[in-house]
Amino acid sequence: MADFKTLDDIGAIAGKRVLVRVDLNVPVIDGKVSDTTRIERILPTLDELSKKGAKVILLAHFGRPKGEPNVEFSLDPIAHAVAAMIGKPVAFAADCIGEEAAGAVARMKDGDLLLLENTRFHKGEEKNDPAFVEALAKNGDIFVNDAFSAAHRAHASTEGLAHRLPAYAGRTMQAELEALEKGLGNPVKPVVAIVGGAKVSTKIDLLMNLVQKVDALVIGGGMANTFLAARGTQVGKSLCEHDLAATAKQIMIEAATAGCAIILPSDGVVAREFKAGAANETVAIEACPADAMILDAGSASVDKINEWIDRAATLVWNGPLGAFEIEPFDRATVAVARHAAARTREGRLTSVAGGGDTVSALNHAGVADDFTYVSTAGGAFLEWMEGKPLPGVEVLKK
């Protein structure tokens, strides 16, 4: 039995206003949702609440608009994607608090769905400001958190609201925690982790603890560039957070002490433009031209990563190895995903992968169904794996 409250504990909700925190931070290309996994996963909760006659009011963030309204980060287009997938209208309100939100909620009938605009358009969200929590709470009688992938954030809509209203885990939150416990509660060694992607500054600290838990850490994507630069390799115009060099160095020291191998790319695919079909070449990692970007790992790096996967009993993966949305910079991510999938199918590997873009990459490679478990979460699942309490989960505990 779960040690947190779930929808099984919620009681009669017909006519009640249920604020449901979901993760609609989905990959979007040319204005279209390019991977719908996060939406698919919240449908059971939305359907259950709607069928029980609740007024289902969705709260979500999209991107990192830094506390200011910004049309680029509006959830309006995502409301249409949710409606198409649930097969019911989903109304949209242009603000998540104030008169705009209150008016839209007042117009709801039992069973209706409404999506409120990006919570991160207000500074109070990320600050978990009590006044902003109060403004959100005005529109709800009950709070349901179904955003496991944002549960590592102690924000107003992921943590604060759960103190203010009766709070429950949604079905996806519940399923994620149960599946991770089953797949990774006691991981069989050797454990290999792959961490790539672009969210370097918010994920680099995770690696400090992760190197204590895993036998090898493969660092890829933008994260790798930061480590390469820290050890003195020129990375040209690559995505790289040079000011995190000291942290990267410290992680390498911690890894050596803990006996965790660090695997960085030995070659990279470089280009001068960030667009599909851009002229590119594979070079030794030390040979990135000053005016180019490393946009993918090269084939020698892929071979090395796959050798580590062959030695592993358990693989955990968050963050693509390159800018996989743009061909041909998807090759390393696709090759490693297919290799891990094959080893999993052969029964030789337990493979757990997660993150909005990572899931999209696995779908792009056609192997998401072959992994042992695919989480909607990236950073949250890595923090869960480190054994860190997740604020959005802790607050739901009975």
Ligand X SMILES: Nc1ncnc2c1ncn2[C@@H]1O[C@H](COP(=O)(O)OP(=O)(O)O)[C@@H](O)[C@H]1O
Ligand Y SMILES: O=C(OP(=O)(O)O)[C@H](O)COP(=O)(O)O
The closest of 244, 225, 219, 214 to 320, measured between CA atoms, is 219
Q: How many Cβ atoms from other residues are within 10 Å of residue 98's Cβ?
A: 14
Cβ burial 332-352 (10 Å sphere, 16+ → b, else e):
bbbbbbbbbbebbeeeebbbb
- Per-residue contact string for residues 343-362; x = within reach of ligand X by CB under 6 A: ------------xxxx----
For this structure, is 366 an active site residue?
Answer: no
Region 149-178 residues binding ligand X, contact defined as CB under 6 A: none
Among 27, 356, 391, 392, binds ligand Y (CB under 6 A): 356
CB of 53 to ligand Y, least distance (A): 29
- Which of 171, 199, 213, 343 does the annotation list as catalytic? 199
CB of 223 to ligand X, least distance (A): 8
List, in order, residues 6 or more apart from 90 with CB less than 8 Å away. 58, 79, 80, 82, 83, 113, 114, 115
Cβ burial 2-24 (10 Å sphere, 16+ → b, else e):
eebbbbeebeebeebbbbbbbbb
31 Rama class: left (phi>0) / alpha (psi -120 to 50) / beta? left
Residue 325 binding target from ligand Y, ligand X, none, CB below 5 to 8 Å by type? ligand X
Q: Do residues 214 and 193 touch, judged by C-beta distance below 8 A? A: yes
CB of 175 to ligand Y, least distance (A): 17
Site for ligand Y contains 196 (CB under 6 A): no
Binding part of the chain for ligand Y, among 12-20, 248-256, 306-314, 373-381 by CB under 6 A, reads 373-381
Q: Do residues 82 and 141 touch, judged by C-beta distance below 8 A? A: no
Among 199, 331, 339, 364, binds ligand Y (CB under 6 A): 199
Grouping H, G, I as helix, E, B as strand and the rest as coil, residue 32 is strand
DSSP 8-class letter at 378: S
Q: How many residues bind ligand Y (CB under 6 A)?
A: 13
CB of 41 to ligand Y, least distance (A): 12
Binding part of the chain for ligand X, among 94-102, 106-114, 138-146, 314-322 by CB under 6 A, reads 314-322
Distance between CA atoms of 229 and 284, rounded to whole angstroms?
14
Site for ligand X contains 330 (CB under 6 A): no
Residue 320 binding target from ligand X, ligand Y, none, CB below 5 to 8 Å by type? ligand X
Helices (H) and strands (E) counted in the chain, each on its own, are 15, 17
**Paired tokens of 110:** 């039992």
Region 34-93 residues binding ligand Y, contact defined as CB under 6 A: 64
CB of 25 to ligand Y, least distance (A): 3
Among 5, 18, 20, 23, binds ligand Y (CB under 6 A): 23
Residue 25 binding target from ligand X, ligand Y, none, CB below 5 to 8 Å by type? ligand Y
Distance between CA atoms of 94 and 69, rounded to whole angstroms?
10
For this structure, is 197 an active site residue?
Answer: no
Q: Do residues 331 and 296 touch, judged by C-beta distance below 8 A? A: yes
Site for ligand X contains 124 (CB under 6 A): no
Site for ligand X contains 301 (CB under 6 A): no
Residues that bind ligand X (CB under 6 A): 196-199, 221-222, 239, 294-295, 318-320, 322-325, 355-358, 378
Active site residues: 38, 199, 356, 379
Residues that bind ligand Y (CB under 6 A): 23, 25, 64, 149-150, 153, 199, 202, 355-356, 377-379
Residues that constitute the known binding site: 23-25, 38, 61-64, 120, 153, 203, 325, 355-358
